[in-house]
């Protein structure tokens, strides 16, 4: 995909505001600095003078460089891009940016983890934030969601409790960016409404392969409003065109140590390489008259609408095509707020959403120093704004004239109200006749059916991973009673799930009866990640192992095929530099075994060459590299003498007629082109979890 340079420059200008220019070093006031190496002193060895305004300005600015990090979603990365709707959505909404397929709406998208600090690792097991800021002609619209469609709690009043429970425990400040500790599971085990969400968090959804390969959800139920004032409920989805893919838990843990910036680096490098990440915006529309037929309350944020009940309508495409110019100015200072909506979009009475409408604005007042954070360039809309709000910390706008009130006659009544028919925002009228009560709706009382739906919709290997995740997390607890309580909670979801987790913890499932009789549920295939995507190998990363004597013909043939399909090949060896090939040429090495391990790649290619294979057979690092990739279900290809190396370390190949376990070897008489074709097909399948012996691999 290409981007028009003129258009890209125009969009970039929207986010910039008087960036420093020129080569001359000056103070903030523009005074040219002649010496930036020494403070002003009373003699060569005398005390520093207070009058050194250059020193004072520089140190003062440095002392105040940091702003409070976000309480949640502190660890994040972002990118600029555009959104285009496929066709006018006028029949369901009057939102201007959803009308014209030719209009490109600038966006800024931030991805994040929830629990960790700014310095935590990317690949921890956690919910991922997926926040999109649309710079529309009618104002800023923020769709602030996650990569999981439901949430832990039903009412915002419980949010501080949830976050306090999952954050590092206050006495020890441990563990960082992890939920595997007593306080979190103590809270979860006592909150039945969290059951559905915790199933998602223990699934592979919580350890995505990359931001480019994860779904996004608005979580809450919103409303779309048409020009006549009619409204309907809507759930927002982001569907990645590359499909939904995850890391193995072992990979995620290793990457946290090898490359704590794995997701951040992946996003940055993909955009720099022109592999622009793409998602389609999807809508699930429910007319108000149909809402009661769903069998659950649409206002309950712990529930989703199964896609086999209400299909997702894909209405437009989001493309990220430019990295930020400055992390702090853009990614760190961007302020998202669910209350930033435009005409054509409105809220529902979801009690968690209602609390977020207060919390996000309140948070920005502290983080960004007052009410004028909307004037920071990354937060500023592309449409003009006019109102009577004045002054305050960090005010940038220079308001002219003497009128700052309404109504007025001295300014001709301006700025004046705009009626809805001319584009003024108009809230959907709702009849609110209930008494004031601190009470939860009875329609919010069922907590286990959708958790069970999620479980039965997973493939066998995905269920295995959920069991392993629960076992790992609960094994880290120091209070046995919490483990026992969680096993009892899992019995309300599925007896087999509870039994398998109990066995891993050395417990016996208690056979507790479910809270209520389970209904006959039909699996929802869309809840599984397996088999998603467009079937291509675009942006996949393939490691090519090399030593002196490597078969350069095999390397060239497979590299051409892989790169033609959009994959990226990197040559890995024991050390940097170059190796001699069997054909007498030199092959440049991109990375070493230590600096770019197998967990950073999607597939591994082992070329032939007798001297090359002899050297790798004697290398513990190379053998481990192959075994680790095999253990993680990744496609592996071998040509020539390399087939014998795989046989020697008990990596079993496919039969030559098909792709049974993703190990593609050059059979008798097979051409390199045939191997390349089969390898491309294997990579398109992503993983081969059906390798029965992978758990016995010593890696």
Q: List residues with catalytic annotation.
A: 73, 146
**Are 436 and 147 contacting, i.e. CB atoms less than 8 angstroms apart?**
no
Q: Quick one: CA dihedral 261, 267, 270, 271, positive or negative?
A: negative
Rounded CA-CA distance 655/49 in Å is 80
Rounded CA-CA distance 271/269 in Å is 5
- The separation between the first and the last C-alpha atoms of the chain, rounded to the nearest angstrom, is 39
Phi, psi of 329 (to 5 degrees): -60, -30
Q: Which two tokens stand for residue 43?
A: 């003699």
Rounded CA-CA distance 550/12 in Å is 45
Rounded CA-CA distance 251/425 in Å is 48
Rounded CA-CA distance 669/102 in Å is 53
**Are 333 and 379 contacting, i.e. CB atoms less than 8 angstroms apart?**
yes
Between the CA atoms of 583, 588, 590 and 595, what dihedral angle is there, to the nearest 10 degrees?
80
- Of 629, 632, 627, 690, which is closest to residue 659 (Cα–Cα)? 690
Element (H, E) at 470: helix 460-475
The H-assigned helical ranges of 107-211 are 159-166, 182-189, 195-201
- Kindly state the DSSP code that residue 327 receives in the 8-state scheme: I
Rounded CA-CA distance 117/99 in Å is 40
- Kindly state the DSSP code that residue 43 receives in the 8-state scheme: S
Rounded CA-CA distance 397/390 in Å is 9
Q: Which two tokens stand for residue 395?
A: 């005010």
- Kindly state the DSSP code that residue 169 receives in the 8-state scheme: B
- Residue 36 φ/ψ region, left for φ over 0, alpha for ψ in the -120 to 50 degree band, beta for the rest: alpha
With a CB cutoff of 8 Å and minimum separation 6, the contacts of 582 are 549, 550, 551, 552, 553, 609, 611, 612
Reduced to 3 states (helix: H, G, I; strand: E, B; else coil), residue 77 is strand
Measured CA distances, 48 to 31, 35, 45, 241 (Å): 20, 15, 9, 60
**Are 654 and 681 contacting, i.e. CB atoms less than 8 angstroms apart?**
no
- Kindly state the DSSP code that residue 306 receives in the 8-state scheme: -
Q: Quick one: CA dihedral 113, 116, 117, 120, positive or negative?
A: negative
């Amino acid at each position: 995909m290409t981007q028009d340079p003129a258009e890209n420059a125009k969009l970039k200008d929207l986010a910039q505001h008087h960036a420093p220019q020129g080569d001359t070093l000056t103070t903030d006031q523009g005074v040219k600095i002649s010496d930036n190496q020494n403070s002003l002193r009373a003699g060569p060895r005398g005390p520093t003078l207070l009058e050194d305004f250059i020193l004072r300005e520089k140190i003062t600015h440095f002392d105040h460089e940091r702003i409070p990090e976000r309480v949640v979603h502190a660890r994040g990365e972002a990118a600029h891009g555009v959104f285009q709707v496929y066709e006018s959505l006028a029949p369901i909404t009057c939102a201007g940016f959803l009308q014209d397929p030719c209009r490109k709406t600038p966006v800024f998208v931030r991805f994040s983890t929830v629990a960790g600090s700014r310095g935590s690792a990317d690949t921890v097991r956690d919910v991922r934030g997926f926040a999109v800021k649309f710079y529309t002609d009618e104002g800023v619209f923020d769709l602030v969601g996650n990569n999981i469609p439901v949430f832990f709690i039903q009412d915002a009043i419980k949010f501080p409790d949830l976050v306090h429970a999952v954050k590092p425990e206050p006495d020890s400040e441990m563990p960082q960016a992890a939920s595997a500790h007593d306080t979190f599971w103590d809270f979860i085990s006592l909150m039945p409404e969290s059951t559905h969400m915790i199933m998602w968090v223990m699934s592979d959804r919580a350890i995505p392969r990359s931001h480019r390969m994860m779904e996004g959800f608005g979580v809450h139920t919103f409303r779309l409003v048409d020009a006549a004032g009619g409204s309907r409920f809507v759930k927002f989805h982001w569907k990645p065109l590359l499909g939904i893919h995850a890391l193995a838990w072992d990979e995620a843990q290793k990457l946290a140590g090898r490359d704590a910036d794995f997701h951040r680096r992946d996003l940055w490098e993909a955009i720099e390489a022109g592999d622009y990440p793409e998602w389609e915006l999807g809508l699930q529309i429910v007319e108000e008259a149909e809402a009661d037929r769903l069998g659950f309350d649409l206002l309950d944020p712990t529930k989703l609408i199964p896609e086999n009940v209400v299909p997702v309508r894909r209405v437009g495409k989001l493309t990220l095509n430019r990295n930020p110019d400055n992390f702090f100015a853009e990614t760190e200072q961007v302020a998202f707020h669910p209350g930033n909506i435009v005409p054509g979009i409105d809220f529902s009475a979801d009690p968690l959403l209602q609390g977020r409408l207060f919390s996000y604005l309140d948070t920005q007042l502290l983080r960004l120093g007052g009410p004028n954070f909307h004037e920071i360039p990354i937060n500023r809309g592309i449409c003009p704004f006019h109102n009577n709000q004045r002054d305050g910390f960090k005010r940038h706008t220079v308001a002219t004239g003497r009128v700052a009130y309404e109504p007025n006659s001295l300014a001709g009544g301006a700025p004046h109200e705009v009626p809805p028919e001319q584009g003024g925002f108009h809230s959907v009228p709702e009849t609110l006749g209930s008494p004031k009560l601190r009470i939860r709706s009875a329609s919010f009382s069922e907590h286990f059916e959708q958790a069970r739906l999620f479980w039965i919709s997973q493939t066998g290997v995905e269920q295995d991973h959920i069991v392993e995740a629960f076992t790992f997390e609960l094994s880290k607890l120091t209070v046995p009673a919490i483990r026992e309580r969680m096993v009892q909670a899992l019995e309300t979801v599925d007896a087999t799930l509870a039994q398998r987790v109990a066995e891993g913890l050395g417990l016996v499932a208690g056979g507790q009866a479910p809270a209520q009789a389970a209904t006959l549920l039909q699996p929802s295939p869309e809840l599984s990640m397996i088999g998603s995507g467009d079937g291509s190998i675009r942006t996949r990363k393939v490691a090519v192992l090399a030593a002196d004597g490597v078969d350069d013909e095999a390397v060239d043939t497979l590299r051409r095929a892989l790169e033609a399909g959009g994959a990226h090949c990197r040559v890995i060896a024991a050390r940097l530099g170059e190796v001699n090939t069997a054909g007498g040429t030199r092959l440049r090495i991109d990375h070493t075994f230590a600096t770019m391990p197998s967990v950073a790649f999607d597939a591994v290619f082992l070329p032939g060459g007798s001297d090359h294979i002899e050297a790798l057979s004697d290398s513990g690092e190379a053998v481990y590299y192959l075994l680790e990739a095999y253990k993680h279900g990744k496609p592996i290809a071998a040509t020539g003498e390399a087939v014998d190396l795989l046989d020697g370390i008990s990596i079993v190949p496919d039969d030559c007629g098909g792709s049974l376990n993703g190990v593609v070897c050059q059979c008798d008489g097979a051409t390199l082109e045939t191997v390349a074709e089969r390898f491309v097909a294997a990579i398109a399948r992503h993983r081969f979890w059906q390798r029965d012996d992978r758990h016995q691999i010593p890696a």
